[in-house]
């Protein structure tokens, strides 16, 4: 009987997970896999502290986003629209979401699909076009079901698959534990690696995830569930899921550091990393990474358009319903753009550079707006931010602003990389 009770409790706890894992699924894409691979190969364990900060920042901001959705029953896009009475400011807020989130997710969708396709071509074979079509069509088919629970379950399965693949690989390469701990708790920036720090933060603290999370929690925890219960379950989901997502990125950095840093082997993409690991792990290396890379491509290719649809429909004052025509139209356009660029072999680099510049501005702005909303008693009552929440949010905002300014200056050639 006690065993059955324990199993029932475990199953109940597992069913409480969902929106947090969507967030983890969103920030672990081919770009993250490549960024983490390059970071480990070039700097060893030295930048693990930056990844740890990214995980902390993501937990702080995503907890606020989830709390906003559960308590107010508004997505961030809706809250942004309704927080301004003056037509000019409301129009500027809506335009910010439409341009930055809409364009940004389209650009990153191109990178998601192209990155997955190029990596899979390197590892498994078949032309990039074929893989781009497979990833894009799979993402389209999943979202076309219009069933949140199915989408959630598929993405959870893919995140767990990535966890097994990348964590096992990190264990097999036998990392230097002393150097690993030093990289986590003794911050330092090796020469020429400032943009790598920014990239690690930027691939983890993803602005459109705030819109995704604040909307997804409303599907997971409807109004019938007591607010305190929903918030407790949501916080557990957020913290554990984001730590798991961060652990996946950490495992990729560790693998690259253990395998390539000592020999200074250059790694330019995740597919190359897979083939370079063969002498150490055998032929299983490329299959491990093929599975992990496909999962990463699928998760980010589904969540980016999903987040865009939540953000855009919310900002326009439309109901963010997965079955509605406007909602479907937004995510469909994002996927078609990404798949189209990947199919025709167009390099997404320029679009992503501009999108990164936009996000460099957008992250501090959205974080500032989120902090402002989370202190509104009229909207959140006793669930508004406390002193600790505001201090943590201010720390994240300060660092995000600094990184955003540096990103913009480097994009426009004012400072060197």
Q: What is the CATH number of the domain that holds 260?
A: 1.20.1740.10
Which pLDDT band, with edges at 50, 70 and 90, does 75 fall under?
confident
The Cα 214–Cα 409 span in angstroms is 31
Q: Is 22 in contact with 211 (CB distance < 8 Å)?
A: no
Most confident of 81-85, 131-135, 148-152, 321-325: 131-135
Residue 15 lies in a domain: yes
Tokens 């201090």 found at: 391
Q: What is the pLDDT of residue 6?
A: 47
The Cα 345–Cα 132 span in angstroms is 10
The Cα 171–Cα 363 span in angstroms is 34
Q: Which residues contact 289 (CB under 8 A, 6 or more apart)?
A: 119, 123, 165, 169, 270, 271, 273, 274, 277
Give me 122's structure tokens: 């390197």
Which pLDDT band, with edges at 50, 70 and 90, does 254 fall under?
very high
Instruction: Give SS3 for 28.
Output: coil
The Cα 145–Cα 140 span in angstroms is 9
* Helix axes 349-373 and 104-124, enclosed angle (nearest 10): 130
DSSP type of residue 237: H
Report pLDDT digits (tens) over 100-110: 677 778 878 88
Residue 94 lies in a domain: yes
pLDDT at residue 237 greater than cutoff 60 = yes
Which of 245, 253, 269, 266 has the alpha carbon at shortest distance from 117?
Answer: 269
Residue 416 lies in a domain: no
pLDDT at residue 270 greater than cutoff 50 = yes
What would you measure as the largest C-alpha separation in the chain, in angstroms?
Answer: 68
The Cα 169–Cα 190 span in angstroms is 26
Residue 382 lies in a domain: no
Most confident of 127-131, 186-190, 335-339: 335-339
Most confident of 50-64, 275-289, 393-407: 50-64
Residue 388 lies in a domain: no
| Over residues 241-265, mean pLDDT | 89
Residue 276 lies in a domain: yes
Q: What is the pLDDT of residue 240?
A: 94
Provide the domain limits for residue 75.
2-345
Residue 383 lies in a domain: no
Higher pLDDT, 280 or 197: 197
- DSSP of 4-62, one letter per residue? HHHHHHHHHHHHT-SHHHHHHHHH-SHHHHHHHHHHHHHHTTTTHHHHHHHHHHHHHHH
Residue 351 lies in a domain: no
Report the mean per-residue pLDDT for the chain.
83
DSSP type of residue 381: G
Which pLDDT band, with edges at 50, 70 and 90, does 15 fall under?
low
pLDDT at residue 353 greater than cutoff 60 = no
Instruction: Give SS3 for 326.
Output: helix
The Cα 225–Cα 217 span in angstroms is 12
Report pLDDT digits (tens) over 355-402: 555 666 678 888 888 998 899 888 899 999 999 999 999 999 998 888
Half-sphere exposure of 186 (CA within 13 A, CB side): 9
Q: What is the pLDDT of residue 1?
A: 47
How much is the CA Rg of the chain, to the nearest whole Å?
Answer: 20
Between CA 102 and CA 106, with CA 105 as vertex, the angle to 5 degrees is 80
Which pLDDT band, with edges at 50, 70 and 90, does 415 fall under?
low
The Cα 309–Cα 75 span in angstroms is 11
Q: Which of 88-92, 96-100, 109-113, 329-333 has the lowest mean pLDDT?
A: 96-100
Give me 142's structure tokens: 């999943």
Q: What is the pLDDT of residue 395?
A: 93
Q: What's the whole-model pTM score? A: 0.86
- pLDDT above 90 coverage of the chain, percent: 29
DSSP type of residue 417: -
Report pLDDT digits (tens) over 198-229: 888 878 888 889 988 998 899 889 999 999 99
DSSP type of residue 74: -
pLDDT at residue 128 greater than cutoff 60 = yes
DSSP type of residue 257: I
Instruction: Give SS3 for 313.
Output: helix
Q: Is 276 in contact with 265 (CB distance < 8 Å)?
A: yes
Instruction: State the total domains in the chain.
Output: 1
Between CA 281 and CA 181, with CA 36 as vertex, the angle to 5 degrees is 85
User: Is residue 121 classed exposed, middle or buried when 0-12, 13-18 and 19+ CB atoms within 10 A define those classes?
Assistant: middle
The Cα 77–Cα 61 span in angstroms is 15
Report pLDDT digits (tens) over 18-42: 789 889 888 888 778 888 888 898 8
């Amino acid at each position: 009987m006690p065993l059955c009770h324990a199993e029932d409790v475990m199953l109940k706890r597992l069913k409480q997970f969902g929106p947090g894992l969507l967030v983890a699924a969103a920030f672990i894409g081919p770009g993250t896999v490549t960024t983490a691979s390059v970071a480990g190969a070039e700097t060893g364990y030295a930048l693990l502290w930056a990844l740890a900060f990214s995980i902390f920042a993501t937990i702080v901001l995503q907890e606020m986003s989830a709390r906003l959705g559960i308590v107010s029953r508004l997505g961030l896009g809706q809250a942004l629209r309704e927080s301004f009475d003056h037509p000019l400011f409301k129009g500027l807020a809506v335009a910010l979401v439409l341009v930055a989130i809409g364009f940004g997710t389209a650009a990153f969708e191109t990178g998601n699909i192209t990155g997955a396709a190029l990596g899979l071509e390197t590892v498994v074979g078949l032309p990039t076009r074929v893989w781009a079509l497979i990833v894009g069509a799979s993402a389209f088919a999943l979202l076309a079901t219009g069933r949140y629970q199915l989408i959630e379950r598929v993405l959870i399965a893919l995140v767990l698959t990535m966890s097994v693949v990348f964590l096992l690989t990190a264990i097999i390469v036998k990392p230097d534990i002393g150097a690993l701990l030093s990289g986590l708790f003794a911050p330092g920036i090796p020469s020429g690696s400032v943009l790598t720090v920014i990239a690690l933060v930027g691939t983890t603290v993803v602005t459109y995830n705030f819109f995704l999370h604040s909307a997804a929690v409303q599907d997971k925890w409807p109004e019938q569930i007591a607010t305190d219960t929903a918030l407790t379950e949501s916080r557990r989901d957020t913290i554990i899921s984001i730590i798991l997502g961060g652990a996946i990125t950490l495992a990729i950095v560790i693998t690259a550091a253990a395998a390539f840093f000592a020999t200074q082997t250059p790694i330019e993409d995740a597919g190359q990393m897979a083939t370079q690991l063969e002498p150490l792990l055998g032929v299983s290396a490329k299959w491990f990474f093929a599975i992990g890379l496909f999962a990463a491509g699928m998760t980010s290719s589904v969540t980016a358009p999903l987040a865009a649809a939540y953000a855009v429909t919310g900002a326009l004052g439309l109901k963010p319903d997965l079955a509605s025509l406007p909602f479907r139209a937004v995510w469909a356009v994002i996927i078609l753009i990404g798949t189209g660029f990947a199919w025709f072999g167009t390099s997404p680099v320029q679009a992503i550079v501009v999108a990164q510049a936009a996000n460099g501005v957008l992250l501090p702005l959205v974080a500032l707006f989120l902090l402002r909303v989370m202190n509104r008693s009229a909207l959140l009552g006793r669930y508004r931010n406390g002193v600790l929440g505001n201090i943590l949010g201010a720390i994240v905002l300060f660092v995000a602003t600094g990184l955003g300014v540096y990103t913009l200056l480097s994009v426009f050639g004012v400072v060197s990389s």
